[in-house]
Amino acid sequence: MTNSYHEATKHTYLSVRSGARQLEWSKMPKTFKIYPNSFAVKRLELDNKIDRFIYLIGGITAKKVYPGVEYYLRTVPSAGALYPVEIYFQARDVEGFKNGIYHFSPAENAVRLLHEIIDEEGVEFHLKDKRMIKGFLFLFSSVYFRSSWKYSSRAFRYALLDTGHVLGALEASCYLYEHAFFILYDFDKKILNEKFGFKDREFFLSGAKVGIPQKREAKFFKLNLPFVEPTETFEKNELIQESYIESLRLKNCKKEYRFPKFNFHKERFFETILNRRSIREFSKSPIKSEEFEYIYQTMIEPIPSDCDEKVKIYYIVNKVSGMKQGLYKNKELLKEGDFSQIARYLCLEQALGGDSAVTFFLTSNAKNYQSLYQKAGLIGQRCYLSSEYIQIGCSGIGAYYDDEVKNFLHSDDMVLYALSIGNNKERL
């Protein structure tokens, strides 16, 4: 089903030109879900290390105002700045937090206590490993209409990529504050969707353990949270709903227990997270080969999770000092030549694809659609942060001519994501 979904949402030269539609601005969804004041609120104090750890996973870093529209930028990029991801977590024996289940509310720079857990109650009951976690247990959901309002059925791809970006932000925050983490894809999302009162407006995609497993297992607990409108407006997308259900069951998952090894100075990396932006225009000047190597190595570090799928990284080198122009995979030059105009065309004729120093294409032929797509998003977040850290610009590109990219790569894989890096014109 997910393969058929992927096929059904491909971009072609014809579909891009014949499928254009006017946005209904009156139906534009709100990008913040706010629980009512009946749920206790705790403001995040950014001079507090634990509060700062949570804030960096998805907090607001800037505001942009255009005629009639306000955009709030966060620690993660999002297609169209629509931010379909909601962040929930359970805290157990965490200083400053009651034991309970919380919702992170970036609009309020706060968390709201949705349910206080008692004794051995806990979300862990719905995981494969039911041992109680001393620390945090995160759950990430998607409010897909925030994306489908603009991107129609292709929005499920963006919801998965955006959730991957949030997982990458969690990874970055764990690095800063020296927390071990383990990403979860294989758990009972369906029952948790019901317990959290999501109806058909929202659904869980992944989670993460950030804490220490205890000997005792969590017990069943009743949780019947009321439905809280996350968007104000809503239009159901049958293809997205069906694809979500069909991709829930994961098969033949391989666990990855290795942790990534990064080389970031922590104070500078903290500033990098706050200052990260998607750039709009490259200077067309070359980057250094060691700069490319630093970014690439960060992207390919292992990602600990319970369903690790292989994501391949192809890249077109346009302007890197000391590297031949051409198409590469795993540092191997597959074909030599100046493919900058082809890269531009493949990325729906966006200048970012051809003016970049390097344009990446992430692909996979794996079967577990939700986990492989979120992994691609996490790799994308690493690309953003490692690029920004060494003052190289980065922009994620979720729109490309799917089949023509595959033909150029000589690959039968699904194309998951494109990213371009290079010197930012504004910095020169």
**Spatial distance between the Cα atoms of 91 and 192, rounded to a whole number of angstroms:** 17
22-36, 167-181, 390-404: the lowest-pLDDT one: 22-36
H/E run at residue 138: strand 131-142
Render pLDDT for 379-427 as a digit per residue (tens, 0 to 9).
Answer: 999 999 999 999 999 999 999 999 999 999 999 999 999 999 999 876 5
Q: Name residue, tokens 């490692």.
A: 386
Residue-level pLDDT at 70: 80
Query: Would you give the DSSP letter of residue 144?
Result: T
Q: What burial letters (b/e) apply to 43-75, b meaning 16+ CB within 10 Å?
A: ebeeeeebbbbbbbbbbbbeeeeeeeeeebbbb
Residue 214 has pLDDT above 60, yes or no: yes
Residue type, 300: I
Residue-level pLDDT at 88: 98
Q: What burial letters (b/e) apply to 142-162, b meaning 16+ CB within 10 Å?
A: bbbbbbbbbbebbbbbbbbbb
CA distances from 107 to 30, 45, 71, 83, 248 (A): 11, 14, 12, 12, 30
Sequence-distant (≥ 6) Cβ neighbours of residue 32 within 8 angstroms: 105, 106, 107
Mean pLDDT of all residues in 300-329:
98
Query: Would you give the DSSP letter of residue 357?
Result: S
Instruction: Please tell me whether residue 3 adopts helix, strand or coil conformation.
Output: helix
Question: Are 270 and 385 a contacting pair, CB within 8 Å?
Answer: no
Tokens of 113: 């206590």
**Spatial distance between the Cα atoms of 141 and 162, rounded to a whole number of angstroms:** 10
CATH homologous superfamily of 21-246 = NADH Oxidase (3.40.109.10)
Instruction: Please tell me whether residue 53 adopts helix, strand or coil conformation.
Output: helix
Question: Are 139 and 210 a contacting pair, CB within 8 Å?
Answer: no
Sequence-distant (≥ 6) Cβ neighbours of residue 284 within 8 angstroms: 319, 355, 422, 423
CATH homologous superfamily of 279-427 = NADH Oxidase (3.40.109.10)
Sequence-distant (≥ 6) Cβ neighbours of residue 108 within 8 angstroms: 34, 41, 43
Residue-level pLDDT at 63: 87
Residue 181 has pLDDT above 50, yes or no: yes
**Spatial distance between the Cα atoms of 141 and 201, rounded to a whole number of angstroms:** 10
Query: Would you give the DSSP letter of residue 306?
Result: S
Residues facing 183 on adjacent strands: 208, 305
Mean pLDDT of all residues in 322-326:
97
Residues facing 59 on adjacent strands: none
Mean pLDDT of all residues in 199-225:
96
Count of beta carbons in the 10 Å neighbourhood of residue 412: 8
The domain segmentation of the chain, as residue ranges, is 21-246, 279-427
Render pLDDT for 265-295 as a digit per residue (tens, 0 to 9).
Answer: 999 999 999 999 998 899 989 999 999 999 9
Residue type, 112: R
Count of beta carbons in the 10 Å neighbourhood of residue 76: 29
Is 279-427 the same fold as 21-246?
Answer: yes
Tokens of 40: 């206790």
**Spatial distance between the Cα atoms of 407 and 145, rounded to a whole number of angstroms:** 32
Q: What burial letters (b/e) apply to 307-329, b meaning 16+ CB within 10 Å?
A: bbbebbbbbbbbbbeebeebbbb
Sequence-distant (≥ 6) Cβ neighbours of residue 332 within 8 angstroms: none
User: Of the candidates 16, 81, 1, which has an alpha carbon nearest to the alpha carbon of residue 278?
Assistant: 81
Residues facing 422 on adjacent strands: 393
Instruction: Please tell me whether residue 199 adopts helix, strand or coil conformation.
Output: coil
Residue 16 has pLDDT above 60, yes or no: yes
Count of beta carbons in the 10 Å neighbourhood of residue 117: 20
Render pLDDT for 237-246 as a digit per residue (tens, 0 to 9).
Answer: 999 999 999 9
Question: Are 110 and 69 a contacting pair, CB within 8 Å?
Answer: no
pTM reported for the whole predicted model = 0.97
- Burial label for 224, CB within 10 Å (0-12, 13-18, 19+), is exposed
Query: Would you give the DSSP letter of residue 84?
Result: -
Residue-level pLDDT at 428: 39
User: Of the candidates 179, 9, 149, 128, which has an alpha carbon nearest to the alpha carbon of residue 79?
Assistant: 149
Q: In the predicted model, what is the mean pLDDT of the chain? A: 95
Count of beta carbons in the 10 Å neighbourhood of residue 130: 16
